[in-house]
Amino acid sequence: MLSSAKDILDIDKKSNDTDNEVCIPDISKFKCSSISTGAVLLADIIPSLVIKSLAPIFLYKLAYNVRIILTVILMTASFLVVAFSTSVTIGLFGVTLASLGAGLGEVTFLSLSSNFKNDVVSTWSSGTGGAGVFGALTYAMLTERSMMGLAPQTSLMVMLIVPVMFFLTYWKLLISPPAIYKAVLWKPQSYLIPQDARSRHPSEVSDEQNRPLIDSNSSGEEEGLPSSQPEPQTFWQKIRPLLKFMLPLSTVYFGEYFINQGLVELMVFDCSHGFSMSVSSQYRWYQVLYQIGVFVSRSSSSFIVLLWRTLPLLAFLQLMNATGILIQTTSRLIPHIFFIFWWILFEGFLGGAAYVNTFRMVHKDIPIASREFAMSFVSTSDSFGILLAGFAAIPVHNYICNTFYQFF
């Protein structure tokens, strides 16, 4: 959805703009969108943050397979609504549906990962990185004039294959531990997990039952604190050990989404310095390069393991990235998009490294009895950083456009 942000904001003027997919010969002719892509980011993150915040309090009572069905329905509806939207408002509503589905899906699978060994966190992170590359690259190739050249509406309809794959992956590929409660989908009264099933902790189930995806002889990092340690009694006691993971991750995500949805739409190049790509095409390929960086770093955690003390360094570097790209949007010191592509790739690499190492550390260090809550709660930290980035992106977009460019 974020890869299509420019197209969503261009819906209202598509009928009057026949040059939307043509490069601009003179950069002085560039005109800002009246609405920042930060608005799409807010529609994409606020519902997700609400879902993630409610999950540790309410959603844990809902059976995993029911949550997956809801996720698939929301994903499908979002593609259809955005594809057939006739205004920015309807398009943003479709993004909201996608956000609800993404938030529910992420928190569901992160919670589910607490039932497996630590290796599954790296696999999950690599998979989400790969999904980002697949989505951004596929959309860019479908809409690129020199490739498939499909209209954004048609491209979004093609992407309906995603919820189908999501559904089949959970029901046909993933082997859930027998201890996981499963609702009978045609019996709504079974959707809520019974109290006795919720109280049956994974540690009470044998390793063979509990973690069928991992070889029982693997030397996974199942080191957490002793499971016999009493679970903290207050909410503050539960979240206090998590803050050292959450604050750096929030900062990293603030920096990268401030770049992706606040600045790169303004970092445009003319035909001779932008590989003859249109402004919209440049934006899509920025998203592709970012996702490739995320995928590479999320897939490398099995080989490059970071300590939690390095997380603040990643946050600092990402803020430096945001500062540098902010300067670039106003001064155009870097003359060609080729160099910006490498910069965006590095930005994605930092974001992916922060994500995978944060959740790997949480899974390893938090006691088994608190791990499901911890994985679910820490997942709100990236969303919180993205939320702040969305709010910051809109006024910065308006200031830069008023000062250096002009609005449509």
258-305 pLDDT, tens digit per residue, is 998 889 888 889 888 888 888 888 888 898 999 899 888 888 767 777
pTM: 0.72
Block residue for tokens 């088994």: 368
Lowest-confidence pick of 12-16, 46-50, 150-154, 353-357: 12-16
What is the predicted pLDDT for the residue at 320? 96
CATH number, domain 5-11+33-214+229-404: 1.20.1250.20
Q: Closest Cα partner for 352 from 249, 264, 245, 270?
A: 249
**Mean pLDDT, all residues of the chain:** 78
DSSP one-letter string for 215-277? -TT-------S-TTSPPPSSHHHHHGGGHHHHHHHHHHHHHHHHIIIIIGGG----GGGTTT-
Cα-only R_g, the chain: 22
Q: In sequence order, which residues have a C-beta less than 8 Å from that of residue 97 and are 6 or more positions away?
A: 74, 77, 78, 81
Looking at mean pLDDT, say which of 52-61, 67-76, 145-154 comes out highest. Answer: 67-76
Distance of alpha carbon 397 from the chain centroid:
22
Q: What is the per-residue pLDDT across 315-345, written as a single tens digit (0 to 9) for each?
A: 999 999 999 999 999 888 999 999 999 999 9
Q: Output the six-digit token pair for 325.
A: 């790209």
Burial of 157 (0-12, 13-18, 19+ CB in 10 A): middle
Task: Check pLDDT > 80 for residue 206.
Answer: no
